[in-house]
Structure 1
Amino acid sequence: MSDLYIGLMSGTSLDGIDGVLADFSGPRMRVAQHASAAFAPELRAVLRDLNTPGENELHRAALAGNALSRSYARVVQTLLERSGEPASAIRAIGAHGQTVRHRPGEFDGTGYTLQLGNPALLAERTGIAVVADFRSRDVAAGGQGAPLVPAFHQGVFGRAQETVLVLNVGGIANLSVLGADGSVIGFDCGPGNALMDDWCRQHTGELFDRDGAWAARGQVLPQLLAALMQEPFLQQPPPKSTGRDLFNPAWLSARLRCCAGAAAIDVQATLTEFTARACMQSARAYPGQILAVCGGGALNTYLMERLRAAAGPSLQVLASDALGLPALQVEAAAFAWLARQTLRGAPGNLPGVTGAAGARVLGTVHPA
């Protein structure tokens, strides 16, 4: 029987979908194919709007979930065509869905996390079993539901006798600490691309600051940077997770009051510096020698420069490509791995990372 899985990820950066065809038949996972697809502008706009309360949310969320699943199905089809594999050879698809709310532990003591999607429709469109809703079981067990990738990071990037740090910079940034002794720590450490992308879109019309070129021409505003770094979440000990529920345009607007009239380009430079410093404030708390950066942030040349500047000489900052897995494939591959864990009846969470009451088999299965 084949040991092929597809992983699909669309993150809080709202840029689109990454998909991988992962082969687990060897001693280490191998990505056989990778495909990506940008969101249609109208779908991106709806998903962004659903991050905040609005009219007729249930109806809009249901239709957005359908549209997202159709987009997922097209990425799956691309992966199958490029690989030459039939749908019947794929054990399952791990479909993360689109996070629009993330409030674990709040309101009633349990809280919730909500990833849009219609996994039943995806199973119908592809003829492949779909595993989805990975985060809810961990939240039900008292955990944060995030991050779920550190266990996968350990298998892919962990090294004997060396502590490796893995920084995923999507819409939100999360850090995995892979100890030389096999221990794993992981938590969300601050904003990734979310604030930078929102500001860039608002002031330039571009979806993101390509290579960080706009930010690189600006000047960091010390007063604004200080106000951003005072966010209590950054000082909170793990386990912790966050999302656009916290780091959003309204949050930024409240802090911009200290710098009324600041040039947009200087705010962008400051947001990039904020992301780098928030991430490195967490990373420097652990004695790693290597910091591997993955996610879309690894493609931001200026952000990588600022991460290196904040890291200092003792910590080598490089893209995860140097450790064998390209930056844009890591999270999608993680959800292929999580789908495999589900079908094997094996836990997908690390209680020490998420704060859950124990190890849990994650996800719900929609058979082919």
Structure 2
Amino acid sequence: MRLGRTFVAAGLTAALALSAAGCDGGDGSAHAGDPTAPASSPSGGFPGSATPVGLDPAHVTDPPGRRTGAIAPADIVATGAETIPDATVEAIRRLRGVAGVEQISMAQIPVENRALSVAAVDPGTYRNWVVDPYAAQSDDVWDRVAGGELALRPSLRTRAPIGKDGFLALGSTEGASRVHVGAYAKQSWLVDAVVNRTWIDTLDMTPGNALLIRTGGTSPERLRAPIQRLLRGTEASVQMTDVVAREGLDPGAVQTAVVVGTVADAVGTFRYTVLSGGHIAPDPAWVDAHIATETVPILGDVTCNKLIFPQLRAALADVIAQGLADRIHPGEYAGCYYPRFIAGTTTLSNHAFGLALDINAIENQRGTAGEIDRSVVAIFKHWGFTWGGDWAYTDPMHFEMNHLVRPG
């Protein structure tokens, strides 16, 4: 059965669990309440207030109103680093075999070592493109998104670090923007979470850098080359969602990750291809521009992102100055630049960008409090690193750069 066929509209509103309290865990952590419990009413009601809560008025837009049009997911997804020009979008829309185009904004936002794929959308039109027709018909979900809240893919409810107040910080720094999780609903292919378009500037996203494309009765593969020709110059990746559905990502496509937030300067536009066994092959030009092997105190030679070295050296020099060098064990250093996905997923981590390092790995396993000296932790935090031991599902060996620090 083709993924692009139009779903028969169902009259039942989605029975979605809509957040009231959020969760306080990452992978395998405890959840506030039962995350598998149904919504408070069979039609997908709200466990708490029937209106969005705790929101900045700047992110509130009008509800989308009654849903109209066909419900069907994309057959092709195109993602680039720059805004796709209107003329190009229109040319793709006019291609023989193209049944519909939806322009959205896409970015990858590092959240506790997970590059979360966030889309900024028009909730009134985007809802027809999600992979679950029941979610498409739920006015509750899209009213929440229009009201400034975030709709999250259900599989992330126990993985994303949602606070007990129901807010998710989109970034790793203390000042990262926090968005209230208003709904759990399946999204379009390759999208983890959606917000409305008022968040584009707040999250430093690129407007309109992605397209969802339906091909109706035409084979998507027949349209790949014509779409790629029209997108030439934008360096956008073009991938088939029938492959995505089977394998997670299209191995025939160059993937494009547009990382935003305080580490954006260290990553830029990250392009890569998918290999077997969870590994990836970053664009060699990106590797040459961003990755280097240099000598640092205590650890010796390490391979990392070039921009991490000044503050990494400063942190390790500070460890030595405070008489704590013996608290870091070079023989237990577990790496920095590691071009692969998070185990068992197709999600990039900060290791793929060379922005995270694992130290004292043996006695600091995931899910434990860890034995690393807390004075060492404090030094790394001072020099612009986040510590995985502070996460809901702890990773105490892990330190990642959350913002650039330029030692004086």
- TM-score band w.r.t. shorter chain: under 0.3
TM-score, normalised via structure 1 length:
0.26
TM-score, normalised via structure 2 length:
0.24
Q: Which has the higher contact order (CA 8 A, sep 6+)?
A: 1
Q: Greater helix share, 1 or 2?
A: 1
Larger radius of gyration: 2
